[in-house]
Structure 1
Amino acid sequence: MTTLKTTTPPNETRYVALAILGVMFGLLLSMLDGFIVGTAMPTIVGELGRADLLAWVVTAYALMTAVSTPIWGKLGDLFGRKRMYQLAITLFIIASILAALAPTMELLIATRALQGIGAGGLAVSAFAVIGDLVPPRERGKYQGMTAIIVAVGTIGGPLAGGLITDGLGWRWAFLINLPLGIIAIVWTAIFLRIPATRQRDARIDWVGALLLGGSVAGMVLLTTWAGTEFAWVSWQSAAFVLAIAAAMTAFIRWELRTPEPLVPLQVFRSRSFTMASILGFISGAVMFAAVLYLPLFQQTVQGASASESGLQLLPMMVPVVIVSLVAGIVMTRTGRYRLFPIIGSASMIVGGALLSTMTADTRWVVTGAFMVFIGIGSGLTQQMTTTIAQNSVEQRDIGAASGVVTLLRTLGGSIAVAVFGSIFTTHTAGLTGHALSVGVADSTRVIFLIVAGLSVISLAAAIAIRETPLRGRQPASTD
């Protein structure tokens, strides 16, 4: 264990910034690959076939990202953040190469799952490294950087996927990760200065990982298949619910008695941490709903092209960047943060309600104005959840806490995609032409009414947070 200085020399501050920039490369890669295949999917199906498996190209990635995040968080706590980050990005690069070479849809899905495991490590490492290197009160400005990365990855993924697929072919959408990943490995090898120490008696909670993975997989599979493969009210759904409940109960009982739990459940004794977890789950659901279903509405109902619908997300993404940076600066100067998720949740309520009123005749300027509310809300809640969670736990649990919040944010997005996809399928199955446009419009209305309802829960969670002013110095010990 080492003791940190109470003041940070200018040179050290510069190296902290450079180190965090390095892990941001990895976060950008994980975000880009979550969305880059969307615009490449028709071409992939044209070459590999198996359109019935197409959704799993996205679902496999999201599922394994969600399942692996708390595992990577714990591995970083036990074996060192730098070592685990470089392992994660190496795995991500190898999986990207294999995905580019995949000769069948089944192998592509398998390599996407492997990519997702690496992406889970990249995502949680970025937030945990900030927690390790930056005093609590200064974390806001760096969390603002992560908001920019998330926004760039979210909107840049579909645009980059379309351009690369049209210009070079869909396989290059994966090969582009190779040079970027190598830059990240070299950069962090030079600038990321976290001791790669190992605890002597460190143990990985593989039983907990298996039980948690089974629970999360069951949730995603239920929300993916219910309404399409079988009815929501059916014996299959009931069997899934019972299996998920059994696995989650076993997971909680195991975590309470194992000496090295994957998820230290004591962090949930903090009301603020629990509320931050709820905020993270809902913010992930809201962002995925907006990014995936607004372009679908614009293309199918309003007649926009794929690239136009991507660009039309800018009124949502620009506010995400701006308010995240402003909130980070204010939080750094004042040490206060509770008001931001309250305002953000209220803004998402308004945005969801307004977007549910869209029709084929709604002008793009009006739709863009509605999106601004979602962008403001996401910017003030999504990344703030990590800061609140980290400030609510002991220094030794920062990695695990970051992993839990990242897990819930990813899980919220994964379940939202599945549930909203089921709603979409219900309203559009078998329809063509004008009837399809009407079905898409109806499903979009329902989806954004649900977004508004979820945001009401988010507002209640934000109000329930107990604010502890952020400390101006790092805790006394680190790994």
Structure 2
Amino acid sequence: MSQTATPTTAAKEPRQRSVRVVMVGLMIAMLLAMLDNMIVGTAMPTIVGELGGLDHLAWVVTAYTLATAASTPIWGKLGDMYGRKGIFLTSIVLFLVGSALSGMSQSMDQLISFRAIQGLGAGGLMVGVMAIIGELIPPRERGKYQGLIAGVMAIAMIGGPLVGGSITDNWGWRWSFYINLPVGAVALTMVTIVLHLPKKRTESRIDYLGAALLTVAITSLVLLTTWGGTQYAWGSGQIIGLLVLGLAALGAFVYAETRAAEPVLPLRIFRNANFSLISLIGFLVGFTMFGAMTFLPLYQQTVQGASATNSGLLLLPMLLSMMAVSMVAGRVTSSTGRYKIFPIIGGGLITVGLYLLSTMDAHTSRFTSGLFMAVLGAGMGFIMQITMLIAQNSVQMRDIGVGSSSATLFRTIGGSFGVSLFGALFTHRIQETMSSSAGASGAAAMKAGAQLSPATIAKMPASLKDAYFHAVANGTHTVFLWGAVVSVIGFAAAWFLVETPLRGAGPKPATADEAAPAPEPLVADAI
């Protein structure tokens, strides 16, 4: 007996193919934003050698990070107000313009300015991808695509340094930026042709005051955590001034949002307990994750003797574990509609993984550290994309953009705080260990800073070198132990989440009146 497809199945098949094609374009766009800093970081020594401006080197990264963080909530709100497709395409174009200008830079000042333009576009890329997925795919089905997002992150972290080094050595540092143009053009073309979302029009005015105050608050806090303990002492006037400015701008922003007709970050979304809890969990995950990603390569290169390239490859146990677990968690969420257990398991595994990493010393083998990283990666896999899923499911569809941008922003700010505070702990611990174990010679070796280059370490006397290896191991012990303590808060918060049904959950048996397929609201004329 021959079988024919039901109308519902026939209607779904072309849409599913369209979604898959759109997802390819979205993943390429997200890869652009995540990969850029990894590639450029490898090229920075060559860039400084040609353009000079070593004293402004940090600003090449800081300008990009600041622009990305400050623009994230604004991009999300613009998408909610004026339609996601047009705003997303604008962010891609802005990112590509910034890439082209960065590649043509003739001075360090120009490069810093153009990197800020790139960062503005990158903020829209990351939020746009998450918000479009949130609008295009119901939460019940969204778990299937979590592995793709985790895979993009793993590719960026592993492939970035490799690609950046290869491009710089063979084509020159300017191609570290120019390489974005053909890749971005592919994403731009695919999204333009295939993505179909409803048109939106609004008569509301943009909340310029709220956007300005939020930008000042975010900029102040990011600069505080970037400069604190490195460029300026924590008790210096500059750092205290940034703290006061940030808190004042944040207070003024909250007041302004209560009076704005169309607030850039509606405070009503925080009345949802799940959204507030998942924002806290996202902040803490960013806090611990970026700290781990910063100090693990340092431990591997210094204590375990890995090269810069190999240290990236040595992160594979963590990244592959994260990707595999994320795919499994996504499939289970899609098939069962249950998700609360994953932040709980993830929070517990992150705590255990960080504690295990804190036990590493100067003699820990790469195999053992790889096992510890796999535990941490599994915890991240359970929680990384689930936090975005819960955040999006906790807000109304009209707020899906600000919900996505807020979740991204809290994770970004958490990462900024984590790297800064862990860095201060790391530096203090190394200096303390070197002074106690190597006396005056150890203290003298650390005058230039806590991290010494491989070439400098190779020239050290054997006793001083051994003391430095133990100092780095002690520093990472302190960082990961405190990371485990902080992650306990996220683990505890996960227990208070309420497992509300995911939108689009569970297909129902069709009745006679429901046999005809309902019109698909998300497939409309392209913007």
Quickly say closer, same or farther: Cα 1:297–1:38, change in 2 above 3 A.
farther
Query: Structure 1 CA distance, aligned partners of 2:359 and 2:172?
Result: 38
Quickly say closer, same or farther: Cα 1:158–1:414, change in 2 above 3 A.
farther
Quickly say closer, same or farther: Cα 1:297–1:40, change in 2 above 3 A.
farther
Where do 5+ consecutive residues of structure 1 fail to align?
none
Query: Structure 2 CA distance, aligned partners of 1:421 and 1:114?
Result: 28
Q: 2:482 aligns with which of 445, 450, 465?
A: 450
Q: 1:131 aligns with which of 114, 130, 134?
A: 134
Normalising by structure 2, what TM-score?
Answer: 0.85
Which fold has the larger relative contact order, with Cα–Cα distance below 8 Å and residues 6 or more apart in sequence?
1
TM-superposed deviation, 1:65: 1.1
Please name the residue that 2:4 is paired with. Answer: none
Q: 2:504 aligns with which of 465, 472, 478?
A: 472
Residues matched between the structures, number: 474
Partner-residue secondary structure (3-state), 1:302: coil
- Contact 1:395–1:477 (Cα < 8 Å) also in 2: no
Please name the residue that 2:49 is paired with. Answer: 46
TM-superposed deviation, 1:11: 0.8
Please name the residue that 1:231 is paired with. Answer: 233
Query: Structure 2 CA distance, aligned partners of 1:197 and 1:429?
Result: 58
**1:430 is the counterpart of 2:430:** no
**1:319 is the counterpart of 2:321:** yes
Counting only pairs closer than 5 Å after superposition, residues 322-333 of structure 1 correspond to structure 2 as 322-333=324-335
The amino acid across from 2:474 in the alignment is D
Partner-residue secondary structure (3-state), 2:42: coil
Counting only pairs closer than 5 Å after superposition, residues 68-467 of structure 1 correspond to structure 2 as 68-199=71-202, 201-426=203-428, 427=430, 429-430=447-448, 433=457, 434=465, 436-467=468-499
Please name the residue that 2:25 is paired with. Answer: 22
C-alpha offsets along residues 410-436 of structure 1, whole Å, 9 cap, x if unaligned?
222223233333444444552653255
Deviates more, 1:94-103 or 1:416-425: 416-425
TM-superposed deviation, 1:19: 1.5
Query: Structure 2 CA distance, aligned partners of 1:443 and 1:60?
Result: 28
TM-superposed deviation, 1:295: 1.1
Q: State the identity %.
A: 51
Partner-residue secondary structure (3-state), 2:41: coil
Deviates more, 1:214-223 or 1:37-46: 37-46
The amino acid across from 1:447 in the alignment is V
- Contact 2:343–2:383 (Cα < 8 Å) also in 1: yes
TM-superposed deviation, 1:348: 0.8
The amino acid across from 1:185 in the alignment is L
TM-superposed deviation, 1:64: 1.4
TM-superposed deviation, 1:242: 1.7
Quickly say closer, same or farther: Cα 1:412–1:340, change in 2 above 3 A.
same
Query: Structure 2 CA distance, aligned partners of 1:260 and 1:451?
Result: 38
Query: Structure 1 CA distance, aligned partners of 2:164 and 2:469?
Result: 25
Query: Structure 2 CA distance, aligned partners of 1:460 and 1:297?
Result: 29
- Contact 1:6–1:473 (Cα < 8 Å) also in 2: no
The root-mean-square deviation of aligned C-alpha atoms, in Å, is 2.1
Query: Structure 2 CA distance, aligned partners of 1:16 and 1:66?
Result: 28
Query: Structure 1 CA distance, aligned partners of 2:499 and 2:169?
Result: 49
The amino acid across from 2:81 in the alignment is L
TM-superposed deviation, 1:476: 9.3
Query: Structure 1 CA distance, aligned partners of 2:337 and 2:485?
Result: 30
TM-superposed deviation, 1:59: 2.0
Normalising by structure 1, what TM-score?
Answer: 0.94
C-alpha offsets along residues 293-334 of structure 1, whole Å, 9 cap, x if unaligned?
211221122211111101001001001110111001000011
Counting only pairs closer than 5 Å after superposition, residues 55-70 of structure 1 correspond to structure 2 as 55-70=58-73
The amino acid across from 2:418 in the alignment is A
- Contact 1:18–1:191 (Cα < 8 Å) also in 2: yes
C-alpha offsets along residues 349-380 of structure 1, whole Å, 9 cap, x if unaligned?
11111112222321100110110111111111
